[in-house]
Amino acid sequence: MERELLDWLRARLPKSRRTVLGVGDDAAILRPTPSKELIVTTDMLMEGVDFVLAENEPELIGRKALAVNLSDLAAMAAEPVAAFASVALPNSMSVETAQRICEGMIALAEEFNVELAGGDTNTWSGQLCLSITALGETPPGRAWRRSGARPGDLLLATGAFGGSLLARHLHFIPRIREALLLAGDYDIHAAMDVSDGLSLDLSRLARESGCGAVLELNAVPIHDDAYRAARIQLGEESSDSLSPTAKSVLLNSKNRTPLEHALGDGEDFELLLAVAPDVAERLLVSQPLEVQLTRIGRFLEQPGLFADLEGEIVPLEPRGYEHGGG
């Protein structure tokens, strides 16, 4: 199985463009762009935790495994260069299914001009596990960090939040193009991507920056999926179109309002940006991205996470998915 898949992959992958040597030798060879900094991120997806193989197209699972890594590169304003995929395949998996997982990765890699330059394939008695390491580049000192927000900065977000479980978590678009455009033209103090939940991730960003953050609750863009998720929980909308897992998670958890879904669901993979008020103003007026930029809060000296509900500032409990990584 491993040999067959590797042979297929070597023939299937495009010729090396961004690397000196890609898949096939003992190791890949990369020639970093002189004077650029290399940004490296890694993320592992596990069956039963991050996806359910039996319920989804294998292509979408491969796509997600790469997309979450590209989202982390976007959060650092890094231009993707190459990715390395290590996969543990269940013994029972067919070569065809394994190939379809790879096809999902390859299509996304081509869309964002990332070279799949190596990896490792093993079979075992466990479930599917996909670990991808992605490499990107930034001009020296220009990578965005979580630690740069300052009291007085405004908090902007791309896109809308909540309800990604309905399906969006599998086919979201990593905000690479948006990040590169912003990094080239605007002074962004701090950034991160929302993987675990808007309120939880924002609390992390604020903590890394040594300040606090206020979410302006009335301004948070709520995704249509969040409204749908809330209606499904209330029995006002059919859950028939959902995967069995999404259905069971939604129907077996506490009913939440669309806003609560937006604040805590996670896997939105939108960007949070801390910017000075004058820069924020320019961005909000010019809207230079394909996706909407919205002011959803501000940073302040007092540590912690707060909600602004029409002028009243109250502590806000961060909600989201807690795990070991980031």
72 or 260, CB closer to Mg ion? 72
C-alpha span between 195 and 246 (Å, rounded): 17
Task: Please count the residues of this chain forming the interface with Mg ion, following the rule CB under 5 A.
Answer: 2
Residue 72 interacts with Mg ion (CB under 5 A): yes or no:
yes
C-alpha span between 297 and 308 (Å, rounded): 8
Query: Would you give the DSSP letter of residue 174?
Result: P
CB of 6 to Mg ion, least distance (A): 30
77 or 106, CB closer to Mg ion? 77
State whether residue 263 is helix, strand or coil: helix
Span interacting with Mg ion, options 67-75, 139-147, 238-246, 267-275, rule CB under 5 A? 67-75
Q: Please provide the DSSP assignment of 98-164 as one string.
A: HHHHHHHHHHHHHHTT-EEEEEEEEEESS--EEEEEEEEEESTT----GGG--TT-EEEEES-BS-G
CB of 244 to Mg ion, least distance (A): 28
C-alpha span between 10 and 15 (Å, rounded): 9
193 or 225, CB closer to Mg ion? 193
Q: Which of residues 173-232 bind Mg ion (CB under 5 A)?
A: 193
Binding mask 230-269 for Mg ion (x = CB under 5 A): ----------------------------------------
CB of 234 to Mg ion, least distance (A): 32
C-alpha span between 267 and 67 (Å, rounded): 11
The per-type count for the chain, helices as H runs and strands as E runs, is 10, 11
CB of 10 to Mg ion, least distance (A): 31
Enter the tokens of residue 251. 């129907």
CB of 237 to Mg ion, least distance (A): 31
Contact present, 80 and 134 (Cβ < 8 Å):
yes
CB of 204 to Mg ion, least distance (A): 9
146 or 256, CB closer to Mg ion? 146
162 or 266, CB closer to Mg ion? 266
CB of 75 to Mg ion, least distance (A): 5
Contact present, 105 and 14 (Cβ < 8 Å):
no
196 or 308, CB closer to Mg ion? 196
250 or 274, CB closer to Mg ion? 274
Contacts to Mg ion by CB under 5 A: 72, 193
